[in-house]
Amino acid sequence: MKTTVGSLEGSRQNLFINGAFVAPKGGQYIDSFDPTTGKPWYQFAEADAEDVGAAVEAARSAFANPAWRRMTQTDRGKLVRRLAELVLEHADELALIETRDNGKLLKEMRAQMRAMPDSYTYFAGMADKLLGDTIPVNKLDMLNFNLREPIGVVGMITPWNSPLMLLTGTLAPCLALGNTVVVKPSEHATASTLALAELIMEAGFPAGVVNVVTGTGAVAGDALTRHPGIAKFVFTGSTVTGRRIAANAAENLIPCSMELGGKSPHVVFGDVDIDHAVNGVVSGVFAAAGQTCVAGSRCFVEASVYDRFVEALVERTRRVRVGSPTLEETDIGPLALSAQLAKVETYVASGVRQGASIAAGGRRPQAAELAGGWYFEPTVMTDADNGMDFMQEELFGPVVGVMPFSSEDEMIQLANDTRYGLASGIWTRDINRALRFARNVEAGTVWVNTYRASSFMSANGGFKESGYGRRGGFDAMEEFSRLKNVVIDYSGAMHDPFIIRLR
């Protein structure tokens, strides 16, 4: 991999189409900003509709190319496994690139990059294990069976908060199945996806199997989601953008898989160790500076321990260290975008106007060394009401609202009183209560006495306005394949052409 943080500094990054890095047709480039300084550090190509069309056509040609189309499932698995080896080999450099691009903690990015190869290896092992099935019919001289086959060209728009990890969850099964791909990374974090493209070439994938177009959502993203050559579309991001993408894809009857926004409930009962639960809540909402779709940003605490819990939460929050994401001692780095920082500030101010109180944080840190960066203190809001704007809208920042509840029924009502349904968490020693919560909460993921624990072997996704479709585990292989039914008459007899033979 030639791309490093050093080589990116002050550089211009091109599009990756049909196995080569090429300049955009319009010749335009866009600045990418370092969240720790607020200053540009490299430029990426601004793709237009013509560039996107070239990428889709390259993917379509690769899908039909015998070098890919006729490759055995086992050999495809070997290629994906080789990619896993290369990702692991370059994990630390990929981590540095992402940290510089989106401001997330270097130690978190290293952990992600070193774990990612396991996902590629998992799906590589599935490449030759996706089975069809035979189906009985009422005629003994008929063979009726299903085949699973690749769906075609898959379009993907990935987010800026964990670009490669979230791309891996869909790219790995797509490649293992024999699909081809066009990726448009977020315009706020493009570098690591382009670096991955180098590794895809080095692994030996045929040209055009994976293509990367960078640029804005309004131009490149819109062109990709409207392109009739796409067989399926995958998006991770906001619900507002998801609606626009689904509408564009619907023009060509293209199915979508979407992981959208969240406003996840994090519930604490009085029978647990308070310090343990506090650590879980802190991890659940402040990790990654709150820039995760599953952030447990609505915290409901049983009334009997509410005051004690809030006191412990505030004390723990004040010990969270805000600083440079490259330092080991840092707990929270900057927000990825200046617009995101402004949004968080706006919603915190709105919460105060609506009657909430700031118990901890609530402002930009005052340390001189953080001036110019997009930092915000971890914030605890008390006197919250579930109807307040900051309790209903996804802030994507380090802010948690805390409010008490008196009964299990009230808690479930509060937890489900949101248009989102991505994740949820509960802290209790009562297994019956935990199971009732899991049954009744409207969320695609339920964590009990933990939070943000995840595995590529598990299917995950959202309910309600948090999206649809599932990623991870065997379900991902079904998401990115299509089912074909085959019926063979082997009787050799002549039949009445007006009689249906399967019934």
Cα separation values, 151 from 207, 268, 326, 404, Å: 19, 43, 41, 48
Terminal Cα distance for the chain, rounded: 58
At 428 the three-state DSSP class reads coil
DSSP state of 460: B
Q: With beta carbons less than 8 A apart as the criterion, state whether 230 and 154 touch.
A: yes
Which are the contacts of 93, defined by CB distance < 8 A and separation ≥ 6?
1, 3, 4, 5, 195
Burial class (CB in 10 A: 0-12, 13-18, 19+), 497: exposed
State the Cα–Cα distance between residues 194 and 56, nearest whole angstrom. Answer: 17
At 448 the three-state DSSP class reads strand
State the Cα–Cα distance between residues 502 and 489, nearest whole angstrom. Answer: 10
User: ∠ CA(133), CA(135), CA(137), 5° rounding?
Assistant: 165
State the Cα–Cα distance between residues 113 and 317, nearest whole angstrom. Answer: 28
Residues of 41-50 as b/e, b for ≥16 C-beta within 10 angstroms?
bbbbbbbbbe
Cα separation values, 488 from 80, 483, 491, Å: 34, 17, 9
Which are the contacts of 462, defined by CB distance < 8 A and separation ≥ 6?
259, 260, 262, 420, 421, 422, 443, 444, 468
The active-site residue, picked from 46, 98, 187, 259, is 259
Starting at the earlier edge strand, list the strands of the sheet with 39-45: 12-13, 39-45, 29-34
Q: What's the longest Cα–Cα distance across the chain?
A: 88
Hey, CA dihedral for 211, 216, 219, 223, is it positive or negative?
positive
State the Cα–Cα distance between residues 156 and 211, nearest whole angstrom. Answer: 10
Q: With beta carbons less than 8 A apart as the criterion, state whether 446 and 431 touch.
A: no
Which are the contacts of 90, defined by CB distance < 8 A and separation ≥ 6?
1, 195, 199
Beta bridge partners of 257: 234
In the residue annotation, 50 being an active-site residue is answered as no
Give the amino acid at 21.
Answer: F
State the Cα–Cα distance between residues 280 and 266, nearest whole angstrom. Answer: 9
Two structure tokens written together for 70 = 């006729």
CA-CA-CA-CA dihedral for 293, 294, 297, 301, to nearest 10: 170
Which residues are the active-site residues?
Answer: 259
